[in-house]
């Protein structure tokens, strides 16, 4: 399912309180924030690294499609970004 | 344990407590108590009764080494605390070292001395977030607990943090003298612009145990406070409220620190390394020091960090308890403080043969209010 029309102009960027970094000890991407660390699995970190406030969601999907041509990105990426936004981690 | 691809997963749910692991899971957090010096005198201070002198403190280079070793071990968060960390003139360098190591930093401060210039300098060094303490909703009550005039300085510090745009947490230790003001405390936090308020019911070790009769709330006070928190959460999405559970009335012990030596390392101003900031009081623990040993040895091999890992050390009702992997037998420091034996079941547990040690003071709570013994060198001897 395509992103909602209202989201077409959304250029997601991590909230200022959040740090995204690779944890070399645990071999995983983490979101760090006050009092909390969230483990990102799968392509979560790769998707969020594209959220730099310049790319729209369709642009992020298009960029990922170059690496993952067969993945159901149109449905999964916007849904993932919405979940992260609901947590207050994306603006 | 692996969540579906792309699903954010709370890392706190991703660690488990295997029995007496030979290689413990990596630690997540470091509590860096960079000094015990403090302008405040709170009667529940979590620093030990015997405070470390400033002349014995780790220097800048030693803290830098600790953060590097901590990051290599898996630490991703540091709470830069005290005492009052702003009293360290080299705090900017200390925070820069943590930042260079890739660690997310939170400054835990009274707010006294947090000028816009100082915060700018710390933020430029990589500081990620700030938490200030508040003692009560209104000036007289807050200053009474702090043992000095400090409310106005905290109010100003809140403005400075907001203006800098850093994540802003408020920490309020709760007890019989301020629990009835909880609604106003939350409103003050909201008014000051806090993103989250940690409502930390007093844990009775050290200074707080010394002042227990003056601080222990009644069950009615706690029940009312829980209602206040629930109502706020229902009506507001911010500030986020974190309720740190009181354990004298619940009948179940708290899963203290997520288990002994399971998640976090405390390093005291003189380099003493502990699994929990209250563990200094366990007299026969012989805690290691970062000046003598690398942090990896301290975490993985030191007798102190291995003493109460897993379940093999457990005694009494913990032995065959279905909750022993959930609450880890409760708090070792509380077991030691109240019974003299850190291997006993936490007396906060209703199954503990020592449960009367919390029931009796709880039943007597709300009686005459003794004078507070303020945190000052030598005051509790």
Picking from B11, B73, B169, the nearest residue to A34 by CB comes out as B169
User: Looking at beta carbons, which residues of chain A come within 8 Å of B296?
Assistant: none
Q: What's the gap in Å between the CA of B77 and the closest CA on chain A?
A: 8
User: Looking at beta carbons, which residues of chain B come within 8 Å of A22?
Assistant: none
Which of these, B215, B188, B213, lies nearest to B200 by C-alpha position? Answer: B215
Q: What's the gap in Å between the CA of A80 and the closest CA on chain B?
A: 7
Mutation pick from B1, B2, B3, B6 vs chain A, by most beta carbons of A within 10 Å, is B6
Q: What's the gap in Å between the CA of A17 and the closest CA on chain B?
A: 6
Picking from B4, B11, B195, the nearest residue to A39 by CB comes out as B11
- CA-based R_g, chain A, Å: 13
For B3-35, the pLDDT digits (tens) are 333 334 444 433 344 444 468 999 999 999 999
C-alpha dihedral sign at B62, B65, B71, B74: negative
Q: Each residue's pLDDT tens digit in chain B (381 positions)? A: 333 333 344 444 333 444 444 689 999 999 999 999 999 999 999 999 889 999 999 999 999 999 999 999 999 999 999 999 999 999 999 999 999 999 999 999 999 999 999 999 999 999 999 999 999 999 999 999 999 999 999 999 999 999 999 999 999 999 999 999 999 999 999 999 999 999 999 999 999 999 999 999 999 999 999 999 999 999 998 999 999 889 999 999 998 888 999 999 999 999 999 999 999 989 889 999 999 999 999 999 999 999 999 999 999 999 999 999 999 999 999 999 999 999 999 999 999 999 999 999 999 998 988 999 999 887 765
Tokens in use for B8?
């954010």
Q: Decide if B181 contacts B138 (C-beta within 8 A).
A: yes
For B81-126, the pLDDT digits (tens) are 999 999 999 999 999 999 999 999 999 999 999 999 999 999 999 9
User: Looking at beta carbons, which residues of chain B come within 8 Å of A38?
Assistant: 8-11
Report d(CA B102, CA B104) in Å as an integer. Answer: 7
Helix (H, G, I), strand (E, B) or coil at B79: strand
3-state helix/strand/coil string of chain A? CCCCHHHCCCCCEECCCCEEEEECCCCEEEEEECCEEEEECCCHHHHHHCCECCCCHHHHHHHHHHHCCCCCHHHHHHHHHHHHHHCCCEC
* C-beta atoms of A37 and B28 within 8 A: yes
Q: What is the DSSP string of B324-366?
A: HHHHTTS-HHHHHHHHS-TTSPPTTSTTSTTTHHHHHHHHHTT
Within a domain: residue A91? no
Q: What's the gap in Å between the CA of A86 and the closest CA on chain B?
A: 12
Q: Decide if B356 contacts B251 (C-beta within 8 A).
A: no
Report d(CA B196, CA B237) in Å as an integer. Answer: 10
Q: B300 in contact with A at a CB cutoff of 8 Å?
A: no
- pTM for the whole structure: 0.92
Q: How many domains does chain A have?
A: 1
Q: What's the gap in Å between the CA of A78 and the closest CA on chain B?
A: 11
Within a domain: residue A13? no
Alpha carbon of residue B57 to chain centroid: 20
Within a domain: residue A5? no
Domain enclosing residue A34, as ranges: 19-86
Backbone angles phi, psi at B266, to 5 degrees: -105, 130
Within a domain: residue A11? no
Strand partners, B109: B132
Which chain A residue lies closest to B198 (C-alpha atoms)? A35
Q: Which helix (H) or strand (E) holds B174?
A: strand B168-174
State the residue for tokens 């968060």.
B77
Report the complex ipTM.
0.89
Q: Decide if B96 contacts B123 (C-beta within 8 A).
A: no
Mutation pick from A39, A51, A74 vs chain B, by most beta carbons of B within 10 Å, is A39
Q: B104 in contact with A at a CB cutoff of 8 Å?
A: yes
Within a domain: residue A51? yes
Within a domain: residue A60? yes
Backbone angles phi, psi at B282, to 5 degrees: -75, 100
**CATH number of the domain within which A51 lies:** 1.10.10.1150
Within a domain: residue A65? yes
Question: What pLDDT sits at residue B380?
Answer: 67
Within a domain: residue A3? no
- In eight-state DSSP terms, residue B167 is -
């Amino acid at each position: 399912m395509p992103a909602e029309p209202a989201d077409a102009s959304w250029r997601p960027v991590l909230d200022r309180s959040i740090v995204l970094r690779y944890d070399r000890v645990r071999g995983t991407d983490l979101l760090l924030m006050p009092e909390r660390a969230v483990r990102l699995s799968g392509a979560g970190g790769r998707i969020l690294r594209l959220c730099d406030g310049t790319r729209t969601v369709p642009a992020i999907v298009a960029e990922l499609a170059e690496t993952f041509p067969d993945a159901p990105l149109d449905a999964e990426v916007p849904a993932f970004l919405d979940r992260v936004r609901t947590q207050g981690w994306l603006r | 344990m692996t969540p579906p691809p792309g699903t954010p997963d709370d890392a706190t749910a991703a660690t488990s407590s295997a029995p007496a692991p030979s290689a413990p899971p990596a630690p997540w957090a470091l509590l860096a108590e960079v000094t015990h010096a403090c302008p405040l005198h709170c009667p529940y201070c979590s620093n030990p009764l015997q405070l470390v002198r400033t002349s014995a403190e780790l220097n800048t280079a030693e803290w830098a080494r600790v953060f590097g070793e901590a990051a290599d071990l898996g630490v991703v968060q540091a709470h830069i605390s005290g005492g009052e960390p702003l009293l360290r003139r080299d705090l900017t360098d200390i925070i820069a070292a943590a930042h260079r190591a890739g660690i997310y930093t939170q400054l835990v401060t009274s707010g006294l001395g947090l000028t816009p210039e100082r915060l700018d300098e710390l933020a430029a060094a990589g500081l990620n977030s700030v938490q200030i303490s508040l003692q009560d909703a209104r000036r007289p009550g807050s200053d009474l607990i702090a043992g000095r005039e400090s409310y106005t300085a905290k109010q100003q510090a809140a403005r400075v943090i907001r203006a800098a745009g850093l994540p802003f947490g408020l920490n309020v230790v709760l007890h019989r003298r301020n629990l009835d003001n909880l609604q106003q405390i939350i409103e003050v936090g909201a008014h000051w612009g806090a993103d989250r308020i940690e409502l930390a019911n007093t844990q009775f070790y050290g200074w707080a145990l010394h002042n227990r009769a003056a601080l222990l709330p009644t069950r009615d006070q706690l029940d009312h406070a829980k209602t206040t928190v629930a109502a706020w959460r229902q009506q507001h999405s911010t500030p986020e409220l974190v309720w740190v559970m009181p354990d004298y009335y619940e009948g179940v012990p708290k899963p203290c620190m997520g288990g002994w030596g399971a998640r976090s390392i405390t390093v005291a101003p003189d380099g003493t390394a502990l699994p929990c900031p209250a563990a200094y009081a366990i007299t026969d623990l012989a805690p290691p020091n970062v000046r003598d040993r690398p942090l990896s040895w301290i975490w993985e091999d030191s007798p102190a960090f291995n003493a109460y890992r897993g379940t093999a050390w457990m005694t009494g009702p913990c032995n065959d308890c279905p909750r022993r992997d959930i609450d880890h037998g409760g708090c070792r420091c509380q077991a030691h403080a109240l019974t003299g034996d850190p291997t006993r079941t936490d007396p906060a547990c209703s199954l503990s043969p020592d449960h009367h040690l919390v029931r009796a003071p709880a039943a007597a709570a709300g009686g005459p209010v003794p004078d507070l013994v303020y945190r000052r060198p030598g005051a509790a001897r």
